Chain A
């Protein structure tokens, strides 16, 4: 597609459940980023992929959060044992090269943990 696509757009889950959030980057983009935006806050960095490998995962808050990008294109953010505090909009972005300072963001997945 023309832009970064994130699915689902909305996800409601019960506390303790497992969720997966999907990101389809712009075709050919090698860099992919996940951010989390809580209500009234700016986006917070979670993890960055260059190709298939996680180049920087310093923003993941704890070991319940994990992300993969097995073929260097689509990425999945996985959250285990969800907590109410995980409720936020999860944003994905992609860019063309390491030196590319313009990243294109998707519209996000709104996760609500009840």
Chain B
């Protein structure tokens, strides 16, 4: 079945540091890939997405590129801020089900802590 593996946390960085959170996936078809973020006390929010190989999703200074050859979707940001502290989830959606949030498979989440 489908699965998502992301790096264990917590990840602690200083403000303005470069961020990478690794994510790899296993899927039988051609999934869409997502990063969701959960800020303290809030619900999950879609951060960015990519629907086909070599697509780059970007939002709020974060980027991730859909790499089919390495089955990866690593999240990067050039200069993190304290306000980026949150839990980040990598996820995939098997397009057999039509997309949306039907049957999203999530990773376990990576807790990111940014220190001033």
Contacts and interface: CB of A to CB of B under 8 A. Distances in A.
Interface in A31-64: 31, 33, 35, 40-45, 48, 55-56, 58-59
B103 A58 contact: yes
A100 B102 CA distance: 10
A43 B43 CA distance: 12
Interface string A65-87: 00000000000000000000000
A42 B42 contact: no
B109 A42 contact: yes
Interface on chain A toward B: helix, strand, loop, or mixed SS? loop
Nearest to A55: B102
B65 interface: no
Most buried by B among A41, A97, A105, A106: A105
Interface residues of B, number: 28
Contact of A106 (B43, B99, B108): B43
Nearest to B105: A45
Given A33-B102, A45-B103, A56-B102, A101 B32 contact: yes
Given A98-B100, A99-B98, A99-B99, A44 B106 contact: yes
20 contacts: A33-B104, A35-B104, A41-B109, A42-B106, A43-B89, A45-B104, A48-B100, A48-B101, A55-B102, A93-B44, A93-B101, A97-B100, A99-B98, A101-B32, A101-B100, A102-B49, A103-B46, A103-B101, A105-B36, A105-B44
